[in-house]
Amino acid sequence: MRCVRAPPGTGAAALMLLLPATMFHLLLVARSGPARLLGLPPHLPAPEALWSPGALLLWLTWLGLQAAFYLLPAHKMAEGQELKDKSRLRYPINGFQALVLTALLVGLGVSAGLPLGMLTEMLLPLAWVATLTAFIFSLLLYLKALMAPASALAPGGNSGNPVYDFFLGRELNPRFGSFDCKYFCELRPGLIGWVLINLALLVQEAELLGSPSLAMWLVNGFQLLYVGDALWHEEAVLTTMDITHDGFGFMLAFGDLAWVPFTYSLQAQFLLYHPQPLELPTASVICLVNAVGYYIFRGANSQKNTFRKNPSDPRVAGLETISTATGKQLLVSGWWGMVRHPNYLGDLIMALAWSLPCGVSHLLPYFYLLYFTALLVHREARDEQQCLQKYGLAWHEYCRRVPYRIVPYIY
Ligand SMILES: NC(=O)C1=CN([C@@H]2O[C@H](COP(=O)(O)OP(=O)(O)OC[C@H]3O[C@@H](n4cnc5c(N)ncnc54)[C@H](OP(=O)(O)O)[C@@H]3O)[C@@H](O)[C@H]2O)C=CC1
Ligand SMILES: CC(C)=CCC[C@@H](C)[C@H]1CC=C2C3=C(CC[C@@]21C)[C@@]1(C)CC[C@H](O)C(C)(C)[C@@H]1CC3
């Protein structure tokens, strides 16, 4: 029997339609009465519900504001990983400053009468303009990459198939002058936008119910901690796969600019339209789950970053390691001796804690947990391949000593 292969780029083209469609599906379902994750949303929006010049203006102002904060003098400049041509790029470390400045500006606006809660009524048109921006931006990045030298290209995303390369991104670190597009998008407009949308949902809930619910406070608090932590440890993002390995194309541009703010705020969106009772004892247990997740996530990420920066740092110097042919070492005790991706485990436990305040009557608030599990399992497999290539036998030895990938004794 002959096997019929889909034309190259078909998967990428399908994902480019599927990802925005999923995001709009989630936005529509969250505000519908039955809030059913599976199945069609009760009604499709009229085109005028999607398009609003006000939303476009607001979105462009937001991007401009975050770009301006990025360009402000930074207290520190960090160096990225070594590139193919042996050079290292420099990055400003001022993401937390951008979060604080945004909070001050929003605080000033609200005290001057800015109706922050109204933002919740603009989520659909905002998501639409964010998606359009991601498409246009990725197109510009693709065209820019056609002129980039071979040394500036990402390991993937250079197949020669325009659709596939547009999706994955050809250039590793596209820059305009010293402005690094991928680094900026990864941590600023989307992540800070997510926190702002959550806050708007909390304000709107307070206007409707008289005060925000305990469940809404928890979701806002947990996710603010996550975003604040990412910006506080901004330098650590420079060693993630997205920055060191992946090109900047539609997947990351859409992920950073649209997917993160509009789908990661799904729990708060669900709570606005489907208030959930939450007793203090249950809330305390959920806080504990989040704290455990955060403890593992932060402990594991900090241990690896400290070790990679300076293996003789007293906080990691006593840990057991194995040597690799590259001269780098691998940790085999501490967090990295428990499973091969302890940071993913902590992240997943936190994801569970973000959904639990929404109760167990609906699957919708658990979408993030499901999607994130799939993303991390796939990411772990990709990282495994890269580590095997980098470290060869030493990686086999690490896998023998630490047999579980993410969850001890299970996976
Ligand atoms: N909320 C979200 O949507 C997402 C969150 N994340 C989070 O981002 C964080 C970063 O994840 P990610 O970039 O995938 O990868 P990791 O931070 O897990 O980094 C993997 C790298 O760590 C190094 N490493 C692996 N094992 C060891 C060891 N035993 N000792 C020392 N170094 C080791 C290797 O690089 P090398 O040896 O070259 O240093 C490997 O390539 C995670 O906490 C993850 O949960 C990720 C994706 C999405
Ligand atoms: C479905 C789809 C469009 C996928 C694209 C994936 C992106 C949404 C994620 C890839 C890696 C990410 C990271 C974070 C956010 C989500 C994306 C962009 C991150 C910034 C979240 C905060 C963390 O502390 C982090 C800094 C470690 C993390 C880095 C990876």
Ligand 2 center to 237 CA (angstroms) = 10
User: How far, in Å, from the CA of 13 to the mean position of ligand 1?
Assistant: 28
Ligand 2 pocket: which residues have CB below 6 Å?
A: 19, 186-187, 191, 230, 237, 240, 242, 251, 254-256, 259-260
Cα-to-centroid distance, 111 and ligand 2 (Å): 32
From residue 251, give the alpha-carbon distance in Å to each of 114, 131, 186, 248, 411.
Answer: 34, 11, 12, 8, 27
pLDDT tens digits, one per residue of 161-186: 899 999 999 999 999 999 999 999 99
Give the tokens for residue 291.
Answer: 């704290």
Strand (E) positions, 353-410? none
pLDDT digits (tens, 9 = 90+) for 289-337: 999 999 999 999 999 999 988 999 999 999 999 999 998 999 999 999 9
Mean pLDDT of all residues in the chain?
93
The number of the ligand nearest the C-alpha atom of 335 reads: 1
Q: Over range 347-369, report the average pLDDT.
A: 97
Report H helices in 213-341. Answer: 214-232, 241-244, 250-254, 260-263, 266-273, 280-309
Could you tell me the distance, in angstroms and rounded to a whole number, from the CA of residue 240 to the centre of ligand 1?
Answer: 6
- What average pLDDT score do residues 386-410 get? 94
Atom of ligand 1 nearest to the CA of 380: 14
For a mutational test of ligand 2's pocket, the pick from 186, 263, 294, i.e. the residue with the most ligand atoms closer than 8 A to its C-beta, is 186
Q: How many whole angstroms from 33 Cα to the centroid of ligand 2?
A: 30
Q: How many CB atoms lie within 10 A of CB 347?
A: 21
Q: pLDDT tens across 176-221, in order?
A: 999 999 999 999 999 999 999 999 999 999 999 999 999 999 999 9
Q: Output the residue whose Cα is nearest ligand 1's atom 36.
A: 387
The helix (H) or strand (E) run that includes residue 331 is: strand 329-331
* 5: pLDDT strictly greater than 70: no
The answer to whether the pTM exceeds 0.90 is yes
Q: Measure the CA–CA gap between 201 and 358, rounded to whole angstroms.
A: 14
Tell me the CA–centroid distance for residue 12 and ligand 1, in Å.
Answer: 25
